[in-house]
Amino acid sequence: MSDVLSNLAHGFSVALAPEMLFLCIAGATIGMAIGVLPGVGALATISILLPFTFHLEPTGAIIMLAGIFYGAQYGGSVASILLNLPGTASTAVTALDGYPLTKKGKAGVALFVTTIVSFAGGSFAILVMIFLAPYLASIAREFGSTEYFSVMLLALIAASTLAPGSALKGLAMVIFGLLLGTVGADSTTGYYRYTFGNLELVDGLNLIAVVMGLFGVSEIIANLVSGSDSRQEGGTVSLKSMIPSRREMSRTVGPTGRGSVVGVIVGILPGLGPQVASFIAYALEKKASKTPERFGEGMIEGISAPEAANNASVQAAFIPTLTLGIPGDAVMAVMVGALMLHGILPGPSLVVEQADLFWGLIASFWIGNVILLILNIPLIGVWLQVLRIPYRILYPAILMLTCIGVYSIRNSGFDVAIVLIFGLVGHGMSLLRLPAAPVLLGLVLGPLFEDHLRRALIIGRGDPVIFLQSPISLGALLIAASLLAWIGFRSISNILSRKKKPEGT
Amino acid sequence: MKFDFLRPAIVAAVGILAVASSSSAQENFPSKPITILVGFSAGSSTDVASRLLADSMGEILGERVLVENRPGAASNVATQAVAEADADGYTLLMGTVANTINTGLKRDVSFDFPGDFTPVSTVGAVPMILVARADLGVSTIDELLAKMKESDDPLLYGSAGVGTAPHLSAELFASSTGTQVTHVPYKGSGDAVRDLAAGRIDFVFAPQSSALSAISEGSIVPLASSLLKRSSKLPDTPTVDETAVKGFDTSVWFGLVAPAGTPETVIAKLNDAVQKALASETVSKGFANSGIEKLGGTPAELAEYINTEVSNWAKVAEDANITVE
């Protein structure tokens, strides 16, 4: 314990040196700014800035790159709450209840809450990292394809009731998402599926392009079709109107705690990413809530849980990256690349041999999060002004930013076309009252699901018994089965009680 | 508005200048930023090497050299873009082992690699390390071969995916040694090494950059390296060539290529810049730290290397009966 504290104190002495402090602030601020821009991701920014780090000291380099990564999570929710324009799949979950809050005139409160819970989620993950990193890292090892498959199955069942309204429509849209997820090269055989000779489709549909089409562009089309400016007048924005009431604040505590725990667990497991954390946290909150039917209408709980989860998960993602040398996603792979360039090998020895770097980085996380908190609160007032911009100016600007953002992900004009196509698909879906979030769920989980199932079966030499032999997998399958049984039981008892009281609906 | 009448005159003037300068354009090369397209996402060895090289080439040429990631379809998206680009030396491709494998696998694409390209210079190579899980109980390649032969079920090997250098290297190894293996594809070598360290699969041909961390930790055992020369990072590990399979020589290599028809003087300037950049301290150190072996050489050497690679991989794919269509 005292060891940890003295290490941490040492870390702060590293991270508070003027140069490090500057790099930390610069990274976090750049990250937040690009996070606000729809579609412009941390990955594109970090790769552009990578050459600058060739000439930096490795600790400073990684502090700055990390700042961009977690900073982007803070900015990401702004556009999804205000304009229903999520820049990533994880903030699409925040939009589910965030945008209805804006429509109710509570955008200020929503932004305030997301800033606070982002800070709470991030801080929780940092605490976990300080005290438990070495123990938690080994959890990542326990998860093979068998375990991933069963946990994905559980997540898919648990989250299938994600969207409000008809369960059947929700299920149909999950399946639509799963089908979209089959586009691209078959990872087991290398055959191209549904690519129609287009090389851009070989790696599958670009998730972010689909998100921006289904949510943002379809929202713009819907507003153009209705032709009227349906928004509430922003009015004057005082600090008071942004501060949530005591009741609203107390409603965020439980979701934030649960979301943070979900985020840390998902963050530690390589390959899942913040979007899976957001989906699971939202689904869990809905299950835990006494009023699940009100999710999607602007519940504070519905923005707190996923925002805490995605911030916790990006911080926790550093645990396997630094202590095992396992990069969990593309951004982490760049971080590992940047470290190796300077001759530093991430792995178990890093914590001991590069104590300056490890503890300095952790200290910088906290400094960065505090700076982001301080920066974001006053900015809420600025963001709210966006709502007062007339549609005729706002929409062309958003469309342009969307195109630039999506193009920047992998310099692909084709992806911009995908945004447009899914904008039309999304508009068609909203006319038919089909929910969009389950499509994303299917598209995010589907490819993971398929890969892990097939890989687990190859490793198990074709015998499905392997799913029952691993305790983690068996546990997840049992929970999934009981969840299904519970859903079935509930719907049967609903039908029965309806028969008894035909007058009630 | 009121300058509209000037527009035809400006267009004409620019046109005349363009014609007049086209011959001197080659001498003035480069007069605008050069872009190197990379077919893999940021953080990959190819990307890191390209960015280090571009940074240094920029200083040497006095013009910025940019790196643009165009990931997709095992680098075919980037390759197609460069095949269709102007042959003026301003758009280049960091060609890799993936290009020669794609050609060997006979993927249906609209361009011809290497036919639509002019080589500039080989840049570097990352050796693959044949690594086994720690609890397999083997410490040499001969022990692995013995294990492969006595095992009832074929051993499981992981790779970065179908049609990648780690996949085909393992198939080449199996067919050269007359052993049976079962392929477990992953999304990238990092995932394969993680499962290997956890003991779920038996061995992997992993690019050195992905394997070093787990090797130093002791959770996987290095048996051999895949280049003809031993890896400078693992000098005590023998090569496959000196132990089990004579002439075994595979790697994740990369070299700069330009669209076919790029003027020779431009290619010569670029080649010169690559050699100078490779000799610079930043690139040497960055490559060494990242586990990339520095190469370099003449355009003709790269051309010959590419041809050998294409025919080798085509043979491996045929022997292992790998079809992707």
**pTM to 2 decimals?**
0.85
Show the domains of chain B with their CATH numbers.
32-125+252-319 (3.40.190.150), 127-243 (3.40.190.10)
* ipTM summary value: 0.84
| pLDDT tens-digit map of A75-99 | 888 888 988 888 777 888 999 999 9
Cβ-contact A83, A45 below 8 angstroms: no
**Distance linking the first and last C-alpha atoms of chain B:** 57
pLDDT above 90 (res A50): no
CA distances from A445 to A159, A258, A299, A332, A476 (A): 11, 21, 25, 20, 16
Residues of chain A above pLDDT 70, percent: 94
Separation in Å, CA of A60 to nearest CA in chain B: 17
Which residues make Cβ contacts (< 8 Å) with residue B44, sequence separation at least 6? A333, A337, B38
Which of B50, B289, B323 is most worth mutating to test chain A (most A CB atoms within 10 A of its CB)?
B289
Highest mean pLDDT among A289-298, A379-388, A391-400, B253-262: B253-262
Interface contact A189-B213, CB threshold 8 A: no
What angle, rounded to 10 degrees, do the helices at A413-431 and A218-226 form? Answer: 50
Output the pLDDT for position B3.
Answer: 47
Distance CA(A210)–CA(A212), nearest Å, equals 6
Q: What is the mean predicted confidence (pLDDT) over A43-50?
A: 81
Output the pLDDT for position A327.
Answer: 79
Distance CA(A227)–CA(A423), nearest Å, equals 17
Q: What is the mean predicted confidence (pLDDT) over A326-348?
A: 82
* Higher local confidence (pLDDT), A383 or A495: A383
pLDDT above 50 (res A185): yes
Per-run averaged pLDDT (10 residues), chain B, 325 residues: 52 52 69 94 88 95 93 92 95 96 90 95 96 95 94 94 94 94 92 92 94 90 95 94 94 96 95 96 92 93 96 92 80
| pLDDT tens-digit map of A446-458 | 888 899 999 999 9
Output the pLDDT for position A338.
Answer: 86
Average pLDDT of chain A? 86
Q: What is the mean predicted confidence (pLDDT) over A332-348?
A: 83
* Higher local confidence (pLDDT), B324 or A123: A123
pLDDT above 60 (res A502): no
Interface contact B198-A410, CB threshold 8 A: no
Closest CA to B71 of A179, A330, A336: A330
Interface contact A144-B54, CB threshold 8 A: no
**Distance linking the first and last C-alpha atoms of chain A:** 58
Which residue of A54, A199, A459 is in closest CB contact with B73?
A: A199
**Is residue A184 less than 8 Å (CB to CB) from chain B?**
no
Indicate the SS3 state at residue B86: coil
Residue B118 belongs to what H/E stretch?
strand B117-133
Distance CA(B4)–CA(B236), nearest Å, equals 73
Nearest chain A alpha carbon to B52: A51
Distance CA(A308)–CA(A280), nearest Å, equals 12
Nearest chain B alpha carbon to A323: B213
How many other C-beta atoms are found inside a 10 Å radius of the C-beta of residue A397?
11
- Read off the amino acid at residue A25: I
Nearest chain B alpha carbon to A339: B290
Least confident among A51-55, A87-91, A126-130, B17-21? B17-21
Output the pLDDT for position B20.
Answer: 47
